[in-house]
Amino acid sequence: MKIYILYENPDWLPPLRRELDRAGLPYEESFVHTGHFDLGEEPPEGVFLNRISPSSHTRKHIESVDFTRELLVWLESHGRRVINGSAAFALEMSKVRQYEALRKAGLRTPWTIAAAGGSEVLKEAARQMSLPFITKHNRGGKGLGVQLFRSLNGFDQYVDSPEFEPPPDHITLLQEYIEPRERFITRVEIVNEEFLYAIQSDTSSGFQLCPAERCEPGDAFCPTTDASANGNSDRQNLFSLREGFDDPIIAQYIAFMSETGIDLAGIEFIEDHHGNKITYDVNGTTNYSPGVEERHGLNGWARVAEFLKREGEATVRSKIVMPD
């Protein structure tokens, strides 16, 4: 059974290709940006892996998210198995939806106000927040729109300035700033209800953290494997394995993902000074840190390949018709 990879960022594909090739699995890459599909036809048989990111607009793939939303409905209406399908994709594209689903699952999230409109609307919303607070995009990725404000005057100047970038869905989030017990955030990697590992990310240099092997050149805080990039040292050192991590929140995350139809994700939380774990991001287009994996003999993409193989085999079995 062929695996179809729906993607819009080719830089994220090499590690997945490598593991699919090693496993001898047939696959086809489908670049989802512009194009067409016929509602009167059936999709090809196979398993579809959705790798469309909420940050696709930053790569000038403006149409990818909306087009994928309709494409997934078409695939699922014909009974195709989609990894991180339409239900998961809806959460991937909206932190508001993420937070409501997390809260329903009994997980703590940051106090957040969602605001749509011009600077006056944002200023009015800010007056309901306690200082300090942060802003972020409702549909973002890569830490887009994340800014820390310790004064209302600073916030007012920001939203009135050219530096303020409206989110692609026009919804800006104002969120309580959580002072971390340490300077780290934690990302828990889960595939098919199985905990892989947890990594720590050092946020002392900024918020735009992504463990991918290759990132956009303009992502100042996105680690790459190129130690000489922009004159900086190896950014993979920002990430480290959280060894021995065995916490009840893992089971909560697995139950949350099962309930919401998320097959694989990296879920991030921060611990405050009281030890409370506050979940703030669910990333279905998770990438695995090559530096962490190399240092500890881990391989997240190999586990994903194993999962895809099992799903393909299950799809084949489901289509076998036994004789009377």
For the chain, the C-alpha Rg in angstroms (whole number) is 20
List, in order, residues 6 or more apart from 317 with CB less than 8 Å away: none
Fold of 3-92+308-318: Rossmann fold (3.40.50)
Instruction: Say if residue 132 is preceded by a cis peptide, omega within 30 of 0.
Output: yes
**Beta-sheet strands, E only, within 58-99:** 81-83
DSSP letter, residue 150: S
3-state secondary structure of 254: helix
3-state secondary structure of 72: helix
Domain extent listing, the chain: 3-92+308-318, 95-108+180-297, 112-176
Q: What is the pLDDT along the chain (324 residues), one digit of tens a residue?
A: 899 999 999 999 999 999 999 999 999 999 999 999 999 999 999 999 999 999 999 999 999 999 999 999 999 999 999 999 999 999 999 999 999 999 999 999 999 999 999 999 999 999 999 999 999 999 977 777 889 999 999 999 999 999 998 999 999 999 999 988 888 899 999 999 999 999 998 876 655 445 544 343 333 323 223 323 333 345 556 889 999 999 999 999 999 999 999 999 999 999 999 999 999 999 999 999 999 999 999 999 999 999 999 999 999 988 775 555
Tokens found for residue 272 = 């405050």
Fold of 112-176: Dna Ligase; domain 1 (3.30.1490)
List, in order, residues 6 or more apart from 104 with CB less than 8 Å away: none
DSSP letter, residue 27: E
Please name which of 131, 50, 135, 45 lies closest in space to residue 91, comparing C-alpha atoms. Answer: 50
Q: What angle do CA 289, 230, 155 make, to 5 degrees?
A: 85
Please name which of 177, 175, 189 lies closest in space to residue 268, comparing C-alpha atoms. Answer: 189
- Give me the phi and psi of 180, to 5 degrees please: -70, 150
Task: Looking at the structure, give the CATH architecture of the domain made up of residues 95-108+180-297.
Answer: 2-Layer Sandwich (3.30)
